[in-house]
Chains A and B, each alone.
Chain A
Amino acid sequence: MEGHLNLTLKIWRQKNANVAGKFETYQVSGISTDMSFLEMIDVLNNRLIEVGDDPVAFDHDCREGICGMCSMYINGRPHGPNRGVTTCQLHMRSFQDGETITVEPWRASAFPVIKDLVVNRSAFDRIIAAGGFVSVNTGNAQDANNLPIPKDDADEAFAAAACIGCGACVAACKNASAMLFTSAKISQLALLPQGKVEAAKRAEAMVAQMDEEGFGACSNTGACEAECPKGISLENIARMNREYFSATFSSK
């Protein structure tokens, strides 16, 4: 049932990458519990515009948990308090009347702040460009059913492929490691016969790019898995390590 909330928001404001940011406090009232978190920010923004202030910049697009664009660090957790949801799918019924909510951008040196809550995640694109593909040109393919794939392998590959590239795993990690993201792609392709051929080379190239981007090392605390909105499993990291070590052994 719909209810209404009055909330205090502490939001990170930063004009651009070159200046220091700070928290600002705002009050919002009459927030419907049926609203999504982003719709609540819309309400705040329209009020800010009316009084002549600069609205809070944030990334978003699909608003249904699939594009991976939304990225708010809410009360100390990427995508907020609920498990398995993105910020855009978080609804205000998960909050209490009178609550103070703190909202920050993803924090990681490889994800520099652009403005307010917007960060630059292009490092992820470069990791994929380094090897997150099967080297097949358009027109090279054989008939799709010539390559039967055991259902369990296909399902496992799909589970890894469900990563939306949001970066919550990096934001959750005290080392700002990108292992969960990188390993999900490496796993997906290593599990499938089409991707197996280049598996070792791929792992080596993607890990090298990941390091070059300045992401931290993995210390197996599992915070990434706990905060990942798509349930990407730590097993992917183990699989990536296997591929990676087989690559580094064979290339030596």
Chain B
Amino acid sequence: MTKLDAKIPEGSLAEKWTKYQSSVPLVNPANKRSLEIVIVGSGLAGASAAASLAELGYKVKVFCFQDSPRRAHSIAAQGGINAAKNYQNDGDSVYRLFYDTIKGGDYRAREANVHRLAEVSGNIIDQCVAQGVPFAREYGGLLSNRSFGGTQVQRTFYAAGQTGQQLLLGAYSALQRQVGMGNVKMYTRHEMLDVVTIDGKARGIIARDSVTGALERHFGHAVLLCTGGYGNVFYLSTNAMGSNVTAAWKANKKGAFFANPCYTQIHPTCIPVSGDHQSKLTLMSESLRNDGRIWVPKKENDNRKANEIPEDERDYYLERRYPAFGNLVPRDIASRAAKERCDAGYGVGASKMAVYLDYAAAIIRYGKGEANKHNMHNPSDEEIQAMGKAVVKEKYGNLFDMYKQITGEDPYEVPMRIYPAVHYTMGGLWVDYNLMTTIPGLYALGEANFSDHGANRLGASALMQGLADGYFVIPYTIGNYLASEIRTPAMSTDSEPFVTAEKEVRDRLETLMNIKGSKPVDYFHKRLGKIMWDECGMARSAEGLKASIKEIQALQKEFWSDVKIPGEIDNLNPELEKAGRVADFLELGELMCIDALDRNESCGGHFRTEYQTEDGEALRDDENYAYVAAWENKGNGKFELHKEELKYENIKIAQRSYK
């Protein structure tokens, strides 16, 4: 085991980043023109990094597997983005955002990174507005805010329920501007299948052109992985169908440590599973918890319709258990509370695996508010309903429509049925303060790294982190590395490391095609998903995890001997792409269980049933587990644990309480 050096700058917390910025080595403009950077991923992290680095003068290549960079999964983010602007004058500050994020992460994130994130959060909003991102505004023309879980201030900026879309289109426009100017070369429908290292440094990638099947070699003085999260290891999640771990996993195999793989976020408010055919789950944004109230019947196994259950027979269990934060407790807590109620027999709907998210009270409250604004003294109930629904529609219309589309029920009339679902992965490639992985020259940004959210991410913080990394962090920190690379000429991709890497990729694709077994890829993916959800999901136990590791190993063998991939290797072949991704998920799933087994405590999204308080809250063990678990891949399913000790010098570590 080695000690990991996070390269945190000296100085007091509030000064670290400023000092770093003014002392980091710079690369002069002429040298930038001869330095090449490969960026994999065009989501918020990738697009913002690509645009910013190209503006600085670097030569940039960007890769994504979709047909356009605008379709990266960031597009689907709904609720909003945090920033410590304190526009509401409600007591927000950089320190408070920092504090909330560390506490929300259950004291398992690195202080220095999180503070930097809070510091640059305001600049993100400025940048996005300057690009023409149409955030929600008040009548006075200024920006509007709402609240998200785990905070008591309103610091979330939003664009209806389409914040991710608008932010990504902003970053995409900045990226396309650089494409138009010839500073970025964009490769769409390309999948990165390996990192190439030369003399221990990352020097490029092998990518497959999905349309022709051709393998390509691309050189870069540095490589940035901005490839998103791995929630799809669970098969069903709120992630897009194509979201995958392949890029990060290949990097892990080449020497980049994978940190905290078991930290998974299960989001409390998603549309419940309706049947076996289901291919993905749909999130109902956390912003809905601003105004909606969550409840189940007080009576066990109550089969009455929601509207027939009188007020005093409803259990608003979050308000009951957590009076200070109520419906706005962090996600891990809200999810476990929903599971607890359903497991105890109070769930609703046909499957009984759901709770209600109710807008009836909010509609009346907003309706009355509107009546006041319009000086209506005796509004009728119908008028109140109509005006209230109009306000709710403006705030959450697209979410309500989506719910109706999927379930066939009208959420303006009946409460929504919701249940927790896999949503986000806090774990990811280990990076230091510079966002560099343990392979020199290989960086990880956005959801693909592990850095800022500890064991649980607060809502509206992923968009913030992705854009912070891309717009405001990497443009500085990459200079620290590239300043010493100015004498390295662009390398030929005919060299042995590129040739070997390409051959290995080709061999693996051919092996997959030649298995010619009997079961489609989905069959294996579903089985893996079920193991992960049952044993490495909302509740984990040593016994269950040990059994799962064996089951996953058996499933890996079965996959490699019985998967059936149709079509050709040199044509568009979505099944072949899926097979490669599922093969990687099968290995990652095993590591997630190993990591969950190693962590003999409960923290944030990682809940070990053996470690809980009397009232069922997560019980941390700060003495023994205040570390980042970074896993080195030794090949053949062997992993070695390295630890980064987490030091809290500015925050007093405490039992997290939202009561």
| A interface, CB within 8 angstroms of B | 2, 15-16, 32, 34-36, 38-39, 42-43, 46, 48-50, 52-55, 57, 59-69, 84-85, 89, 91, 93, 114-115, 118, 120-122, 124-125, 128-145, 147-151, 154-155, 157-158, 161-162, 164-165, 188-189, 192, 194-195
Q: How far is the CA of A16 from the CA of B136 in the complex (A)?
A: 44
Assuming the contacts A39-B279, A144-B143, asked whether A134 and B173 have C-beta atoms less than 8 A apart, the reply is yes
Assuming the contacts A125-B69, A151-B139, asked whether A133 and B131 have C-beta atoms less than 8 A apart, the reply is yes
Binary interface encoding of chain B residues 569-580 relative to chain A, with 1 for a CB under 8 A from any of its CBs, else 0: 001101100000
Asked if B177 contacts A133 (CB within 8 A), the reply is: yes
Asked if A67 contacts B240 (CB within 8 A), the reply is: yes
* Closest CB in chain B relative to A183 CB, distance in Å: 15
* Closest CB in chain B relative to A41 CB, distance in Å: 10
List 19 A-B residue pairs with CB atoms under 8 Å apart, sorted by A's residue number: A38-B279, A49-B575, A53-B566, A61-B71, A63-B241, A66-B165, A67-B76, A68-B70, A69-B67, A114-B572, A128-B70, A128-B176, A138-B51, A138-B174, A139-B127, A154-B137, A157-B132, A158-B159, A188-B134
* CB-defined contacts of B386 to chain A, threshold 8 Å: none
Q: How far is the CA of A143 from the CA of B577 in the complex (A)?
A: 44
Asked if A46 contacts B520 (CB within 8 A), the reply is: yes
Q: How far is the CA of A239 from the CA of B2 in the complex (A)?
A: 62
Asked if A125 contacts B174 (CB within 8 A), the reply is: no
Assuming the contacts A38-B279, A125-B176, asked whether A140 and B130 have C-beta atoms less than 8 A apart, the reply is yes
* CB-defined contacts of B169 to chain A, threshold 8 Å: 161
Assuming the contacts A42-B277, A91-B406, A129-B177, asked whether A194 and B66 have C-beta atoms less than 8 A apart, the reply is no
* CB-defined contacts of B242 to chain A, threshold 8 Å: 61
Assuming the contacts A85-B405, A134-B132, A143-B126, asked whether A158 and B166 have C-beta atoms less than 8 A apart, the reply is yes
Of A57, A128, A144, A164, the residue contacting B129 (CB under 8 A) is A144
Q: Which A-chain residue is minimally distant from B521 (CB atoms)?
A: A49
* CB-defined contacts of A165 to chain B, threshold 8 Å: 68, 70-71
* Closest CB in chain A relative to B63 CB, distance in Å: 14
Q: How far is the CA of A135 from the CA of B132 in the complex (A)?
A: 10
Asked if A120 contacts B67 (CB within 8 A), the reply is: yes
Asked if B130 contacts A145 (CB within 8 A), the reply is: no
* CB-defined contacts of B402 to chain A, threshold 8 Å: 64-65, 89
* Closest CB in chain A relative to B333 CB, distance in Å: 26
Asked if B71 contacts A158 (CB within 8 A), the reply is: no
Asked if A34 contacts B275 (CB within 8 A), the reply is: yes
Of A15, A61, A142, the residue contacting B241 (CB under 8 A) is A61
* CB-defined contacts of B71 to chain A, threshold 8 Å: 61-62, 67-69, 165
Would you list which residues of chain B between 496 and 542 have a CB under 8 Å from chain A? 520, 522
Q: Is B75 engaged at the interface, CB distance under 8 Å to the other chain?
A: yes
* CB-defined contacts of A142 to chain B, threshold 8 Å: 126, 130
Interface residues on B, range: 35 or more
Q: How far is the CA of A29 from the CA of B510 in the complex (A)?
A: 34
Q: How far is the CA of A145 from the CA of B138 in the complex (A)?
A: 11
Asked if B142 contacts A135 (CB within 8 A), the reply is: no
Q: Is B369 engaged at the interface, CB distance under 8 Å to the other chain?
A: no
Asked if A128 contacts B172 (CB within 8 A), the reply is: yes
* CB-defined contacts of B575 to chain A, threshold 8 Å: 49, 55
Most buried by B among A53, A93, A148: A148
Assuming the contacts A39-B278, A158-B159, A158-B160, asked whether A136 and B130 have C-beta atoms less than 8 A apart, the reply is yes
Q: Which B-chain residue is minimally distant from A85 (CB atoms)?
A: B405
Q: How far is the CA of A106 from the CA of B357 in the complex (A)?
A: 39
Q: How far is the CA of A177 from the CA of B66 in the complex (A)?
A: 23
Assuming the contacts A66-B162, A149-B137, A194-B132, asked whether A122 and B176 have C-beta atoms less than 8 A apart, the reply is no
Q: Is B471 engaged at the interface, CB distance under 8 Å to the other chain?
A: yes
Assuming the contacts A34-B275, A65-B402, A144-B125, asked whether A132 and B55 have C-beta atoms less than 8 A apart, the reply is no
* CB-defined contacts of B126 to chain A, threshold 8 Å: 141-144
New A-B contacts (9) at CB < 8 Å, excluding given A132-B176, A134-B130, A151-B141: A43-B277, A54-B566, A66-B76, A67-B76, A141-B126, A144-B125, A144-B143, A161-B159, A192-B132
Would you list which residues of chain B between 360 and 418 have a CB under 8 Å from chain A? 401-402, 405-406, 408
* Closest CB in chain B relative to A171 CB, distance in Å: 15
* CB-defined contacts of A189 to chain B, threshold 8 Å: 132
Asked if B125 contacts A69 (CB within 8 A), the reply is: no
Of B69, B127, B408, the residue contacting A138 (CB under 8 A) is B127
Of A53, A69, A133, A148, the residue contacting B173 (CB under 8 A) is A133
* Closest CB in chain B relative to A117 CB, distance in Å: 11
Q: Which A-chain residue is minimally distant from B276 (CB atoms)?
A: A32
Of B75, B141, B160, B277, the residue contacting A34 (CB under 8 A) is B277
Assuming the contacts A61-B66, A142-B126, asked whether A115 and B572 have C-beta atoms less than 8 A apart, the reply is yes
* Closest CB in chain B relative to A155 CB, distance in Å: 8
Asked if B75 contacts A66 (CB within 8 A), the reply is: yes
* CB-defined contacts of B131 to chain A, threshold 8 Å: 133-134, 136, 194
